[in-house]
Amino acid sequence: MDHIPQPFPTTRWSRIRFLREASGEEKRRALNHLLLRYRPALKTHLVCAMGFSPDKADDVVQEFIAGKIVEQDLVEKADQSRGKLRTLLRRALENCAMSVLRRENAQKRNPQNADVCSIERYEGPDPSENAPTDPFDAAWAREVIATALDQMKDYCLDSDRRDVWEVFRLRIMWPALDGRDPLPYGQLIQRFDLDSPSEAYNLLNTAKRIFRRHLRSVVGEYVESEEEIDDELRELRSVLSRSPALLDGDPT
């Protein structure tokens, strides 16, 4: 599997600044493009983290986009110094969802007939260490990894190093993304006509370095300092803790 589905977009702050400065049709197109990319992750968060039905989640996302993002210029008002854009959007979406639930519950004469998505159903994220990964963060992690993998693949093929890409795919991506066993080194040696196990190790180490370089580059597109890149990579590692091979090296 060479691509991870259900992307969650990472947004460069330069694009946010562009939205602030643009106007008319240019601004409308830019905003529509951003919303098209974010909408699936917003809906996923409502369904998986807050217990909304898919149809109800669609309604809440539409109200959030129209009332907060479009009318109140939520994205344009985002301040990089106050935190990540995805965190801002998640919190604003949750506040909007809670407002919708309060309004609907207030209109119900009989609380026992309340909608399954009642206000009591959402109490915020579980603070325990064993709490499942928030789907919003999981979607972000998938997008970052997918983009880095796409860039790595393009780089390897353009550099006539398909062997580097294939070794990485068969040894790292198979177990991390598909849950398959990594291809044994003996088979790598045969498949790529290598002279020794050490040559296979060196090829894989080269692949890891290339991937990490592209991963750092992807993260660097939406943060502006080395310290922020390191923070994002630590968070990415935490989100992907159940599939560490991509970040921690060759699985055992």
Do 219 and 186 share a structural domain? yes
In this structure, are residues 125 and 51 in contact, taking their beta carbons and an 8 Å threshold?
Answer: no
Look up the domain containing 205 and give its range. 135-248
pLDDT at site 246: 59
| Rounded Cα gap, residues 122 and 104, in angstroms | 15
**Structural domain includes residue 126:** no
> What is the per-residue pLDDT across 36-79, written as a single tens digit (0 to 9) for each?
767 877 888 888 888 889 999 999 988 888 887 777 777 666 66
Do 217 and 142 share a structural domain? yes
pLDDT at site 248: 58
Do 146 and 221 share a structural domain? yes
State the pTM of this model. 0.61
Mind listing the pLDDT tens digit of every residue in the chain (252 residues)? 333 333 344 555 566 666 666 677 777 776 777 777 678 778 888 888 888 899 999 999 888 888 877 777 776 666 655 667 777 788 888 888 888 888 877 776 444 443 333 333 334 444 344 445 667 777 778 888 888 999 999 999 999 999 999 999 999 998 887 778 999 999 999 999 999 999 999 999 999 999 999 999 888 877 767 888 888 888 888 887 755 555 655 543
| Rounded Cα gap, residues 114 and 105, in angstroms | 7
What are the residues whose beta carbons fall under 8 Å from the beta carbon of 200, sequence distance 6 or more?
167, 185, 188, 189, 192, 194
Enter the tokens of residue 73: 């210029």
Which ranges of 130-225 would DSSP assign to H, the alpha helix?
A: 135-158, 162-168, 185-191, 197-220
Do 112 and 142 share a structural domain? no
Handedness of CA 68, 70, 74, 75 (dihedral sign): positive
Last residue of a domain, one of 94, 121, 148: 121
| Rounded Cα gap, residues 175 and 244, in angstroms | 10
pLDDT at site 103: 80
Do 178 and 152 share a structural domain? yes
**Structural domain includes residue 129:** no
In this structure, are residues 218 and 141 in contact, taking their beta carbons and an 8 Å threshold?
Answer: no
**Structural domain includes residue 210:** yes
Cα-based torsion angle of the residue sequence 218, 222, 226, 229 in order, rounded to the nearest 10 degrees: -60
In this structure, are residues 39 and 61 in contact, taking their beta carbons and an 8 Å threshold?
Answer: yes
Enter the tokens of residue 127: 């603070």
Q: Count of domains in the chain?
A: 2
**Structural domain includes residue 143:** yes
In this structure, are residues 34 and 20 in contact, taking their beta carbons and an 8 Å threshold?
Answer: no
pLDDT at site 167: 94
**Structural domain includes residue 115:** yes
Closest C-alpha among 159, 249, 245, 160 to residue 204 = 249
**Structural domain includes residue 3:** no
Radius of gyration of the chain (CA): 22
> What is the per-residue pLDDT across 124-137, written as a single tens digit (0 to 9) for each?
444 344 445 667 77
Do 243 and 165 share a structural domain? yes
Do 141 and 52 share a structural domain? no
